Structure 1
Amino acid sequence: MPLYEMTPDAFHPLSQSSFADLKVRERDDLQRLLRTQIDVLGDDLYVLSEEFGDWDDSRRRIDLLAIDPQANLVVIELKRTNDGGHMELQAIRYASMVSAMTFSRAEQIHGEFLTRIGVPAEEARTRMLTFLGWEEPDEEAFAPDVRIVLVSEDFGKELTTAVLWLRERDIDIRCVRLRPYQDGEKRLIDVQQIIPLPEANEYQVQHREKEQVGRKKRAERYDVRLKFWAGLIAIARSRKTRHANIKPGSHSWLGASSGIRGLGLNYAIVQEYGIAELYIDRGEATENKRIFDQLHAHKDEIEKAFGGPLSWERLDTKRACRIKHVIERGGYRSPESQWPEIQSEMVETMTKLEAALKPGLASLGF
């Protein structure tokens, strides 16, 4: 959107320009001004250094290195281009390089920076502590994370797509657009944070925190199931059943072939109960239903051999079918001390189910 000058009679659009046309230089103009007026970027930051690059085997330098009130380091990369180039890749490298910086090292480089701009280096510690609101340096609380701020005349689609992807993965990276305009002899700059939009930032933070909780719960669930399946397979191995050599995984089911393609003898586990089943899916619904119906015709004999009723699920709205028995004793959220009993019953149930289905499977003619 253009900028306008409002007069009593009309809105008059200002002429959008570019840093190149205005002969604005990246380091000597933008960086020089921002190092002492970093608040222009709309964030509460304190600049520690500019052109920082004190690492081995690299000539690369961070345009501006700052801290925020939470003592996070902030890597600020500047471009005067209209697409940002590949600045997000540079910034990620820099962020990793400074991630282990200590307060004492930050104090040292800040002292060197102050000296270059005509301020006594001895003020470095006091200035940093005042900004952070600390009485004494706290190495453990310093630099818990590294944030990234990208500043450019504009940003290309590839860069913004990458930034949004990084943000979804909990990398605090932002894009601030400096759009130049010319009004006669005046040079005007429209400063806008475009990623994340300020009004959406709180929502995105809450959403990201919710996602973090969700990922943590999923990871915990996967770990629990993996441990549960490992115990069940150990029992299957001791009894030399069909699942003895199956590798445990973290999914909700564990399967082995019945000896017929597309007919699997599967275990399934949820929080409250377990399942032993024959899962029928040879890739084509008509054939699956035919096999199910042929087995169902021998329902009484199969259930008598099994020793109790089974759940016969033709699943007419789906491609596959299943014949199953639910083990009500418990699931993977049951106390771990109860797992051996649950696992043992599941293995016993599968053994009985396989034996009961054996004549019917043989009669299919595969």
Structure 2
Amino acid sequence: MPLYEISNNELKPLVGTTFREQNLWERRDLQRLFKLNISVIDPDLLVIAEEFGEWNEGNRRIDLLAVDKNANLVVIELKRTEDGGHMELQAIRYAAMVANMRWDVAVSIFTRFLSDNGIDLDAESRLCEFLDWDKPRQDDFAQNVRIILASADFSKEITTSVLWLNEHELDICCIRLSLHKIDNKLVLSSEQIIPLPEAEGYQIEVRQKKREERVSRGDSKDRSLYTISFNEEVFKCDFKKSDIGYNTVKLLEDNGLIDNRVFALLRDDTSCSFKLLKLPEEMTETEMRYAKYRYRQEPEITYEGKGYYIARNWGLANTPRFIEKMEKSFPSLKYSSNGD
């Protein structure tokens, strides 16, 4: 990304340089700088480990391992090269290796990271504070693994691969790191190039549509109707997938089960790629355009004086995941369908 200095009536291009020319290296410099300043790459991350490689075998290491605000693990790979090397393949291996990480393991490695960097904090308390949790919620931790690739630039092979992988439900973004010189000082800029930030909501919608199209090509159109019960008593029967979130929330509300803990569980749920509960002012244009919430109606649930709407972005791919999570969280809650 070119940078310019404004001088009177002209724009003077700033001198661009490279990490190689400035003798900056991935581990010695980029990793060291980013581990405590990760907001340069993403403001909603907390780094919990560097050079992480506690595998059963092999000596490969994740440059930086982080957690995002949705309690997902984030694998961050750094390169100083102009083409990114084969970083996407490395990152996918690493993501697979940490996919089953437990909460207690994350706390343990974060404790070590804090100690190694001279930071006097309790790891579990800091994680809970970052995630806005009153207490650890092990079942909600590491439901997904994201990948961030940060490099001076990326080859066409990498960008093409990342676009294709994102279409097939991986979550990978590319951050371009640029260096410039200003009065003998080095200036770093970071720019997300995949996915384009302004198109991110739209791309989620496209992935969801393609996912459902792939499923429907192998099967006739899904016309399943669902029934939801509590303590073996039917609460609602024969409703479509689009209402599974709504009827689940209403059942919990009618049975007086929504306290602060349960509300936080529902509020943070993203099983359908969108937050289960949203205030109207939190909705994006894309979510309104494609009617992901019934925002034109009265609020569907009110909690502590605020009216929320319930996501209706349900399909064959994400409905089973939501059902499994809810039945595990509420053992008396059961779902069935005419397709069972």
Q: TM-score range by the shorter chain?
A: 0.5 to 0.7
**Which one is further off, 85-94 or 191-200?**
191-200
Specify the alignment match of 1:83 in structure 2. Answer: 83
Within 2, Cα distance between the matches of 1:217 and 1:146?
Answer: 26
> How does 1:39-118 map onto structure 2 within 5 Å?
39-118=39-118
TM-score, normalised by the number of residues in structure 1: 0.59
SS of equivalent residue, structure 2 residue 20: coil
Within 1, Cα distance between the matches of 2:202 and 2:222?
Answer: 30
Amino acid at match of 2:91: A
SS of equivalent residue, structure 2 residue 138: coil
SS of equivalent residue, structure 1 residue 12: strand
RMSD: 1.9
Q: CA deviation at 1:82?
A: 0.5
Q: Indicate yes or no: 2:143 matched with 1:144.
A: yes
Amino acid at match of 1:78: L
Within 1, Cα distance between the matches of 2:189 and 2:37?
Answer: 15
SS of equivalent residue, structure 2 residue 140: coil
Amino acid at match of 1:29: D
Specify the alignment match of 1:202 in structure 2. Answer: 201
SS of equivalent residue, structure 1 residue 81: coil
Q: Deviations over 1:37-83 (max 9, x none)?
A: 11101341111110000012211000000011111100000000000
Q: CA deviation at 1:149?
A: 0.1
Specify the alignment match of 1:323 in structure 2. Answer: none
The number of residues matched between the two structures is 225
Q: Indicate yes or no: 2:27 matched with 1:9.
A: no
Specify the alignment match of 1:245 in structure 2. Answer: none
Within 1, Cα distance between the matches of 2:222 and 2:93?
Answer: 32
Cα 1:75–1:194 shift into 2, 3 Å: same
Amino acid at match of 1:156: S
Specify the alignment match of 1:240 in structure 2. Answer: none
Q: Which has the higher helix share?
A: 1
Question: % of aligned pairs identical?
Answer: 49
SS of equivalent residue, structure 1 residue 140: helix
Q: CA deviation at 1:152?
A: 0.4
Specify the alignment match of 2:160 in structure 1. Answer: 161
TM-score, normalised by the number of residues in structure 2: 0.63
Specify the alignment match of 2:133 in structure 1. Answer: 134
Within 2, Cα distance between the matches of 1:104 and 1:210?
Answer: 36
Within 1, Cα distance between the matches of 2:218 and 2:98?
Answer: 29
> How does 1:213-228 map onto structure 2 within 5 Å?
213-221=212-220
Q: CA deviation at 1:219?
A: 3.7
> How does 1:244-283 map onto structure 2 within 5 Å?
none
Q: Deviations over 1:71-111 (max 9, x none)?
A: 11000000000000000000000000000001111000000
Cα 1:95–1:78 shift into 2, 3 Å: same
Within 2, Cα distance between the matches of 1:183 and 1:57?
Answer: 46
Q: Indicate yes or no: 2:145 matched with 1:179.
A: no
Radius of gyration: which is bigger?
1
**Which one is further off, 210-219 or 77-86?**
210-219
Name structure 2 gaps, 5 residues minimum. Answer: 224-337
Q: Deviations over 1:303-348 (max 9, x none)?
A: xxxxxxxxxxxxxxxxxxxxxxxxxxxxxxxx99xxxxxxxxxxxx
SS of equivalent residue, structure 1 residue 149: strand
Q: CA deviation at 1:222?
A: 8.4
Q: Deviations over 1:149-204 (max 9, x none)?
A: 00000101111111111011010001000011112311111211011111111111
Within 2, Cα distance between the matches of 1:186 and 1:10?
Answer: 22
Q: CA deviation at 1:223?
A: 9.7
